[in-house]
Amino acid sequence: MSSRAYEDVIKMLTSMKLSTMRDDLDDCLRSASANELSHLEFLRNILTVEQKGRDESGLRRRLHSAHIPVARSIEEFDFSFQTSVKKARVVNLAECRWLGGAVNLLFEGPPGVGKTHLAIGLAMKALEKGYRVRFFCAQDLMQDMYVQAAAGQLNRFVMRLLKNDLLVIDEFAYLPLDAHAGNCLYQIVSQAYERVSIVITSNKAVDAWGDMFQDQSITCSILDRFLHHCEVFKMKGDSYRLKGPKTRLDPSDVQPDQATHRTDGEAT
């Protein structure tokens, strides 16, 4: 390629914001020459480089917007320790087909059994596959909704949330909710119904959720919509948080389409 042609290509790639293709042009040209690639093979290679760069950039943007507090993966989850969850079921969910049907997930169980780990792990899979995700600790979500309601922006806030493909609400049901918080949550669940998937982690079973709300009709309305298309994981067992210290302190041992309402409560 002549010097003039090379400079023109660089300018055009810059103008069209094809930065990865521009930065890797020299390597692709050398590879094409060394391997005697056809014009079509060269074009395919350099387009593949650009596509990979865009995919990685998109993932970084989605991850930033998701506000996930800590990285967790399904591959790290210790199914041999947490035997109340069937590995095959979780691995199937990691394909993220359930997001296309706006199916919800509920992970319920005592503290430390891996509820948040699984919720984040599945959220990470969704991000990797191009889905938009927003993660909230339940208390932070309620606080944000109070602030938005006071500013007269609650409806706009809910509409922004519903632009995501998946909402994750972590540590739900730890604290009681007043009537206003219950109404706010109902707005999210009702408007997300059959449109956006919701994943909730909770230390309380759904039959105890009524204790959190002042208005029982709100409880019924939320549960009716949330559980209509929902997979429920009833988790139990020892806490992961106690597993690590116990191991370290043990001198003898030197060595994460239709209406669906499934329950996985038996140990495997």
Architecture field, domain 68-264: 3-Layer(aba) Sandwich (3.40)
Over residues 118-136, the pLDDT tens digits come to 999 999 999 999 999 999 9
Contact between 165 and 132 under an 8 Å Cβ cutoff? The reply is yes
Which of 62-71, 193-202, 233-242, 257-266 is least confident?
A: 257-266
The amino acid that residue 239 corresponds to is S
Regarding predicted confidence, which is higher, 12 or 260? 12
Binned at pLDDT 50, 70 and 90, residue 175 comes out as confident
In this prediction the pTM is 0.80
User: What is the CA angle 128-130-136, rounded to 5?
Assistant: 75
Residue-level pLDDT at 203: 92
CA distance 241 to 246: 9
The amino acid that residue 70 corresponds to is V
Instruction: Please report, for residues 14, 46, 198, the alpha-carbon distance to residue 22 in angstroms, rounded to integers and kept in the order given.
Output: 7, 9, 40
Mean pLDDT, the chain, integer:
87
Instruction: Tell me: pLDDT of 250 over 60.
Output: no
In this prediction, residues 59-83 reach a mean pLDDT of 94
CATH 3.40.50.300 domain residues, the chain: 68-264
In this prediction, residues 214-234 reach a mean pLDDT of 91
Q: What phi, psi does 131 have (nearest 5°)?
A: -80, 150
Binned at pLDDT 50, 70 and 90, residue 248 comes out as very low
Residues facing residue 199 across a β-bridge: 105, 168
The conformation of residue 165, written as its DSSP 8-state character, comes to: S
Contacts of 74 (CB under 8 A, 6+ apart): 90, 91, 94, 118, 121, 122, 124, 125, 256
Binned at pLDDT 50, 70 and 90, residue 216 comes out as confident
Residue-level pLDDT at 219: 86
Q: Compute CA 218 distance to the chain's CA centroid, rounded to the nearest angstrom.
A: 26
Residue-level pLDDT at 243: 67
Residues facing residue 264 across a β-bridge: 233
The amino acid that residue 245 corresponds to is P
Regarding predicted confidence, which is higher, 232 or 181? 232
Contact between 168 and 123 under an 8 Å Cβ cutoff? The reply is yes
Residue-level pLDDT at 141: 94
